[in-house]
């Protein structure tokens, strides 16, 4: 993602509901921005892994935006901090 535009990820509103899909999208975007500030380049595989981690966490009952962001970051950069 370094030097490039954020590539949006679409979370299905029909599957998750509009509010939760928006929370997931925000968590994903914040995670991308946080990693970008740490000069971590995100390729397509990393972005998809982050999205998958968010979807998996939601299916397990996690709906907190900050927690979803933290889990997404940990999926691709376990040593990074998001705070």
- Give residue-wise pLDDT tens across range 32-65: 999 988 777 788 898 999 999 999 999 999 999 9
pLDDT band for 10, please (50, 70, 90 cuts).
confident
pTM equals 0.81
**Using CB atoms within 10 A of its CB, is residue 74 exposed (0-12), middle (13-18) or buried (19+)?**
middle
Q: Rounded distance, CA 12 to CA 41, Å?
A: 26
Confidence check: pLDDT of 1 > 50 = no
């Amino acid at each position: 993602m370094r030097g490039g535009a954020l590539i949006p990820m679409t979370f299905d509103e029909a599957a998750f509901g509009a509010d939760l899909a928006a929370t997931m999208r925000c968590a994903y975007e914040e995670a991308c921005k946080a990693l970008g500030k740490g000069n971590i380049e995100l390729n397509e595989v990393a972005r998809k892994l982050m999205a998958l981690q968010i979807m998996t966490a939601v299916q397990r009952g996690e709906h907190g935006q900050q927690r979803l962001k933290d889990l997404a970051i940990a999926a691709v950069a376990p040593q990074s901090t998001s705070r």
